Amino acid sequence: MIVLPTPAGIHAEIEALAPDVFRLRLGLIEAPEPPESAALIEPNWEIPETAAQRKGGRSCLATECGVFSWDRRGAWQLSDAQGFEVFSSSIGATGFSANGAPELTLDLIEHESLFGLGEVTGPLNRRGSVRDFWNIDVLGHAPAIHPALASLYVSIPFALSLRHGRAAGLFWDNSSRQHWDLGSSHPDKWRLRADSGDIDLHLFLGPTVEAVLQRYAQRTGTMPLPPEWALGYHQSRYSYETQARVEAVAREFRRRDLPCDALYLDIHHMDAYRVFTVGSGFPQLASMTRKLRRQGIRTVAITDPAVKDDPDFPVFQRGMQREAFVREADGKTDYQGQVWPGIARFPDFLKPEVRTWWGEEQRALLEQGIAGIWNDMNEPANFARPDKTLPPDALHRTDSGPQPHAAVHNLYGQAMAQASREGLLSHRPDERPFVVTRAGYAGIQRHAIVWTGDTSSHWDHLRDAVPMLLNLSLSGVPFCGGDVGGFLGNATPELFVRWLQFAAFTPFFRNHSNLGTRDQEPWAFGPEVEAIARETLRLRYQLLPLLYCLSQRAASEGEPLIRPLLYHYTNDPVAVACNSQFLLGRDLLIAPVLEPGCPARSVYLPNDVWYDFGTGERHVGGKSILAETPLNRIPVYVRAGGILPLAPARNSTQEPPGETLTLHVWPGPEGAFHWYEDDGITLQHESGLFHQRRITLRRQGKTTHLHFGPAEGTFASRIRNWKIVVWDTSPNARIRIDGALRKSPSSPEAELLVIDLPNRDSAIDLSIVGGA
């Protein structure tokens, strides 16, 4: 670490946390202590070797990957080891305004693009836009409704920059309101300002998108591995108001042979919106949740932070005894606002004891068999004020001392999600918690799944959902999703189908809609839509092993499940600019239909060979093709080299997955897949109860080699047989397993090469001679 020369009253330092991660900090010496970081965790990075130098008024700190240099007037640059500049700020552009607010301006170069920023509406590339990081409850947030919308429920002041195909990242850890102007008022300047606190930047050198995201995930934490049921189809609405209705919906799913893993109870399950209570509509909640469980369906309940101000309400009483609520600026009286239950107080989740108390209160729901918690209104939303939240001077009593609400506003929802998760863990210590949240800050992925709030049942909103989930995925939040079908207003049958088809490939897959809107269950739009919905849901369940393996990679490596094309094709300007397609893992490309009445759509296939997932048709990439899109078709393509497990469809993850797994293989120059299994529900994978192996593909001349690496972990694989389906290969190709020739694997009339391979833990070598 070196201290940098600054004007009087400012302290500045630069530190290399890893060879490719620099941290630049500037603070006013007289300023109050900023709140503790809720974003950062201590990564196990080795201290890098550094060389510090001061020459001619310039201070430099170098690692093997890059050099940070700062001149006496505060201009600075970060360059990589090849001298390529990734960030720079000119003289006097990094410091504090006259009123002590931290601010900095970075230079943007021609063709630089900026991504991430957490939850945002509008195009994937954020250059030219403005973002205010200030968590806020906003109804119907599509650009068509709110063209100038700058704030949303989640604030993640992290951006990924792409300069000539080279990626770098910047994270400003400051939970007060931040305002970013990313080349909007000046095309070549990226201006960042916060209301209070310090400048505390993490600068990630990349050079790949993957490397930036991995470092960011190591620093802010990866998402924990979710229970397998989190990846199933979930059905919600505001509200299924009675037990009878919930049971009827569950019955309907089963009667109609439609997959579903969870039903949600929105605010009407409570007694007059008193949190943790159960109203008269649910006279036997425990027996209802048991009944649903027998049908393979879990029950998730909403919890909102605001506690009804009612001296006879036990949760309120216990909160009062614990002095749990956010105070007025005087520090003596509790602040009273207004949410669903009327006058209410707001638990001060910034206080660890309050988080523990809140977690204990969850017991009331968990004892009735509630499987997961859905945190809403936790920006926090407050109907009592025009700014829709708590007063900026309301007082939080945090571990690091009192903090005005303005300084910690963006941490409130995150702290609530943390309380929910920790509470679940303390009640069910061996079960993976399931928490969904609307609000969050950087690091939210450690505590909860993020869903994108109140969308509208409108095509604009479906279109917007694609870049929105991709930018969240590029901001350390791999487990995200939006209300399928849209929340506000009524979905048309066509919109519903197209939304479902898109969302089937997104991590969190939940249908939800608003009070007073038409029914939005898969059968609510008539038999044609129901049949397509059934196929779509079945496909989702066939994809579960893929989604689960990718979730494990997200949990261990910080790799997003869904990715914009630029993630793997950073040098391809068409891929970088693509807003309407995405990748699930490395090999599956999805081009959802985002327009009404669309008989065909154009699909850009980046520079690789691709196969149509449905028909097997081969396409050479590096160009756009036209895909026909009748209502029952989702254009999906697989990269040559792709390896993709497909399970038999099930109606719930609770049903046994079967002992044979089909592994589809599309021969190509190279490919790899990380196979991962465990019990899907407990935390024993953390102590080694898992089964994983790397499966790789390599083509040499006319031979395709498929290699199953030796299995690791103590979990016994459930798979007894792999059924390997090799595409675009003669069914008469010669097969060798561990060197020994296998006789005619497929029947002569077969169109595809299919190989039955008994599974075992030691390495397996398969070669296919005489490919395409």
Q: Using the rule CB under 6 A, which residue among 195, 454, 521, 678 binds ligand GLC?
A: 454
* Residues 684-723, mask of contacts with ligand GLC (x by CB under 6 A): ----------------------------------------
Using the minimum distance from each CB to ligand GLC, give the nearer residue, 266 or 678: 266
Of 394, 412, 413, 414, nearest to 404 by C-alpha is 394
Using the minimum distance from each CB to ligand GLC, give the nearer residue, 114 or 230: 230
Q: Cβ 155 to ligand GLC, closest distance in Å?
A: 17
Q: What is d(CA 131, CA 148) in angstroms, rounded to the nearest whole number?
A: 10
Using the minimum distance from each CB to ligand GLC, give the nearer residue, 396 or 510: 510
Residues 419-448 within binding reach of ligand GLC (CB under 6 A): 438
Counting every residue written for the chain, the total comes to: 772
Q: Using the rule CB under 6 A, which residue among 117, 267, 472, 561 binds ligand GLC?
A: 267
Q: Using the rule CB under 6 A, which residue among 173, 261, 334, 376 binds ligand GLC?
A: 376
- Give the interface size with ligand GLC as a residue count (CB under 6 A): 9
Using the minimum distance from each CB to ligand GLC, give the nearer residue, 291 or 438: 438
Using the minimum distance from each CB to ligand GLC, give the nearer residue, 39 or 138: 138
Q: Using the rule CB under 6 A, which residue among 453, 482, 564, 645 binds ligand GLC?
A: 453
Whether the CB-CB separation of 263 and 292 falls below 8 Å is answered with yes
Q: Cβ 653 to ligand GLC, closest distance in Å?
A: 24
Q: Using the rule CB under 6 A, which residue among 238, 499, 548, 675 binds ligand GLC?
A: 238
Give yes or no for residue 173 binding ligand GLC (CB under 6 A): no
Q: Cβ 236 to ligand GLC, closest distance in Å?
A: 8
**Radius of gyration for the chain, computed over Cα atoms and rounded to the nearest angstrom:** 26
- Biggest CA pair distance of the chain: 84
Q: Cβ 163 to ligand GLC, closest distance in Å?
A: 37
* Nearest residue to ligand GLC on Cβ basis: 238
* Residues 457-496, mask of contacts with ligand GLC (x by CB under 6 A): ----------------------------------------
Q: Which residues lie below 8 Å from residue 661, measured CB to CB, with a gap of 6+?
A: 545, 645, 646, 647, 719, 721, 722, 723
Whether the CB-CB separation of 661 and 719 falls below 8 Å is answered with yes
Q: Using the rule CB under 6 A, which residue among 266, 464, 587, 677 binds ligand GLC?
A: 266
Q: Cβ 442 to ligand GLC, closest distance in Å?
A: 21
Quick one: three-class SS letters along 178-207?
EEEEECCCCCCEEEEEECCCCEEEEEECCC
Show which residues are catalytic.
376, 379, 454
Q: What is d(CA 246, CA 268) in angstroms, rounded to the nearest whole number?
A: 12
Spatial strand order of the sheet with 740-742 comes to 670-677, 691-700, 703-708, 764-769, 734-737, 740-742
Taking the CB of residue 236, how many other CB atoms lie within 10 A of it?
A: 25
Identity at 36, one-letter amino acid code: E
Q: Cβ 488 to ligand GLC, closest distance in Å?
A: 9
Q: Cβ 239 to ligand GLC, closest distance in Å?
A: 7
Taking each continuous run of H as one helix and of E as one strand, the counts in the chain are 13, 51
Residues 288-317 within binding reach of ligand GLC (CB under 6 A): 302
Q: What is d(CA 741, CA 735) in angstroms, rounded to the nearest whole number?
A: 6
Burial class (CB in 10 A: 0-12, 13-18, 19+), 444: buried
Whether the CB-CB separation of 406 and 32 falls below 8 Å is answered with no
* Residues 191-230, mask of contacts with ligand GLC (x by CB under 6 A): ----------------------------------------
Using the minimum distance from each CB to ligand GLC, give the nearer residue, 239 or 473: 239
Tokens of 161: 């920059």
Of 181, 254, 116, nearest to 655 by C-alpha is 254
Q: Which residues lie below 8 Å from residue 355, measured CB to CB, with a gap of 6+?
A: 349, 415, 418, 419, 422, 423
Residues 501-540 within binding reach of ligand GLC (CB under 6 A): 512
Q: Cβ 234 to ligand GLC, closest distance in Å?
A: 13
- Residue 398, classed as helix, strand or coil, is strand
> Site residues (CB under 6 A) for ligand GLC?
238, 266-267, 302, 376, 438, 453-454, 512
